[in-house]
Amino acid sequence: MSLLLVMPGRDTEPVRDALRRASPGLDVRVWPDVGDPARVLMAVTWNHPPGCFDALPALRVISSYGAGVDHLLRDPRLPAGVPVVRVVDPNLVQDMVEYAVGAVCAWRRGFEVYRQRQQRAEWVPVPYDRDRSALVLGLGELGGAVARALAGIGFDVSGWSRTPKAIRDVRCQVGRDALEAALPAAAAVVCLLPLTPATEGILDRRLLARFRPGSLLLNLARGAHVVESDLLEALDRGRPAAAWMDVFADEPLPPEHPFWRHPAVTVTPHVASLTDPDSVAVQLVATYRRAESGGPFRHVVDPARGY
Ligand code: NDP
Ligand code: OXD
């Protein structure tokens, strides 16, 4: 039997090599070179072409190559009854924590302003707010870790999720009213929600109007969480005053997009947390073995919930 990588436009060599290191005899195929379609037991995907699973009669499990599964669940031809799983990996969590904490601290302490002042040899301290408040949207594997890390360095942290959570030193909240009430109190808002019908466009004009003047928005989840035109208007009003954006509705961000040159926007190219092939290969091979032995699988996604 075989494992099929369906990751068009991505360099599959590192993951193929990592899979072979993790399991030397594994038959790894790279789409569109499927080999014998009747032998494909597992597919690992990132932005797969719809319909690519149609003629794989032995397919037992589909894994996202990342933490997000929106790219999979939006496929109307996803085979019914084949479980979808996702990557949950300590390196992915650690990288996201470093990125989020680093960005919040760099913004709060004005490091970018110093960089500009350095060009003019200006020895001028940047005043900063003593208020270390942060709100994390999504308290799952990534958001939960970011909330804990911010709390661990002394931030006053609130978090928002779909179902109630208990995280030490984090005020965990649920429901739209709680979200609207928490926003004006937060100096930094970090979005780590999955992209689902319920969260698409959630950061729109109405919610952005609740942001505190002078605050920072970090979108590290998916571009479609933010209504980009509403954000540009909100930045003009200074609430939020700055946006740190790693993900965009259209990726790569087109050269003419206003975010590139906006003085209040920091752009990074979807790198907050990158899947590490060696680390993830171990999990993928474990999933493959479960497919061989008839499951049960770990980190299974609920298509009805959307994550
Ligand atoms: P999880 O599924 O572990 O966590 C999702 C969290 O969001 C949960 O706390 C969940 O609530 C909450 N949530 C879901 N729907 C709602 C809703 N409607 N209202 C309120 N809260 C909601 O996801 P991860 O933490 O692993 O990943 C989050 C996202 O980060 C991924 O989906 C992906 O899009 C993005 N990502 C971005 C990367 C980057 O490099 N920029 C890298 C990796 C991931 P509950 O706990 O109640 O279920
Ligand atoms: C992911 C991502 O979902 O990289 O893992 O965005």
Over residues 105-131, the pLDDT tens digits come to 999 999 999 999 999 999 999 999 899
Average model confidence (pLDDT) for the chain? 97
Residue 147 neighbours by CB under 8 Å, 6+ apart: 134, 136, 139, 157, 159, 167, 170
Residue 184 neighbours by CB under 8 Å, 6+ apart: 210, 211, 212
User: How high is the pLDDT of residue 243?
Assistant: 98
Q: Is the CB of 159 under 6 A from ligand 1?
A: no
Gap from CA of 129 to ligand 2 centroid (Å): 32
Cα(168)–Cα(147) distance, rounded to whole angstroms?
A: 10
Bridge partners for 45 per DSSP: 6, 64
Pairing of strands 40-45, 170-174: unpaired
Q: Is the CB of 273 under 6 A from ligand 1?
A: yes
Residue 56 has pLDDT above 90, yes or no: yes
User: How high is the pLDDT of residue 129?
Assistant: 87
Residue 222 known to be catalytic: yes
Cα(250)–Cα(234) distance, rounded to whole angstroms?
A: 20
More confident residue, 303 or 129: 303
Mean pLDDT of 154-178: 98
Residue 295 has pLDDT above 90, yes or no: no
User: How high is the pLDDT of residue 182?
Assistant: 98
Q: For 281-294, what is each residue's pLDDT tens digit?
A: 999 999 999 999 99
Residue 297 has pLDDT above 90, yes or no: yes
Q: Is the CB of 66 under 6 A from ligand 2?
A: yes
Gap from CA of 66 to ligand 2 centroid (Å): 5
Closest CA to 87 of 304, 303, 297, 306: 297
- Whether the upstream peptide bond of residue 79 has omega within 30° of 0, thus cis, is no
* Most ligand 2 atoms within 8 A of CB, residue of 199, 225, 275 to mutate: 275
Residue 168 known to be catalytic: no
Q: Which of 222, 225, 290, 299 is catalytic?
A: 222
For ligand 1, atom 19, the nearest C-alpha belongs to: 162
Q: Is the CB of 239 under 6 A from ligand 1?
A: no
Closest ligand by atom to 194 CA: 1
Give the whole-number percent of the chain exceeding pLDDT 90. Answer: 99
Residue that the structure tokens 């979200």 belong to:
179
Q: For 188-239, what is each residue's pLDDT tens digit?
A: 999 999 999 999 999 999 999 999 999 999 999 999 999 999 999 999 999 9
User: How high is the pLDDT of residue 247?
Assistant: 98
- Whether the upstream peptide bond of residue 76 has omega within 30° of 0, thus cis, is no
For ligand 2, atom 3, the nearest C-alpha belongs to: 68
Q: Is the CB of 171 under 6 A from ligand 1?
A: no
Q: Predicted confidence band at 7 (pLDDT cuts at 50, 70, 90)?
A: very high
Helix axes 111-119, 90-108, angle to 10 degrees: 60
Q: Report which DSSP code applies to 258.
A: G
Residue 16 has pLDDT above 90, yes or no: yes
